[in-house]
Amino acid sequence: MNIELRKIVESQLIEDLIFYGIDTVDVRFDWSNSCIEGHDGEYFGSYLENYSGILVFDKMENLLADGWMDFIDGPKLVVYWNFIETWKGSQRLAEKSTPSVPKHVLDKINKI
């Protein structure tokens, strides 16, 4: 994933975090232990796959989210959390453990 595509993917994942109780945009993604999971496509001159093992931290290095992203193929790239757990300290804020396209993502697609 090139830098341009990564910025777009991370931006959409940050927007999607709001639906799981995280409302800050000042975050850091850690892709170092992520794994490709088989769904692939090409966008903005770069190769994209769905990844598991994505960690998101706040500016104090507190874990905010741990998840698996996916995307919807189409003329406009739509990225979302396929699985996710969000945290505030040791308190779990939300968990999405069933793979599906969430309603808020379907609503977003219908507006495109």
CB distance 96 to 19 below 8 Å: no
Whether pLDDT at 78 is above 80: yes
The mean per-residue pLDDT over the stretch 72-87 comes to 92
- So what's the pLDDT on residue 102? 92
pLDDT higher than 90, residue 92: yes
Average pLDDT of the residues in 80-102: 94
pLDDT at 110: 83
Whether pLDDT at 76 is above 90: no
Number of structural domains found in the chain: 1
Q: Taking CA 79 as the corner, what is the angle to CA 22 and CA 59, rounded to the nearest 5 degrees?
A: 35
Domain with 78 in it: 3-111
**CA–CA dist 41, 91 (Å, integer):** 35
How much is the pLDDT for 104? 92
How far apart CA 76 and CA 42 sit, in angstroms, is 11
1, burial (CB in 10 Å: exposed 0-12, middle 13-18, buried 19+): middle
Please write the tens of the pLDDT for every residue from 29-75: 999 999 988 888 888 889 999 999 999 999 999 999 999 999 998 78
Query: What gap in Å lies between CA 22 and CA 75, rounded to an integer?
Result: 28
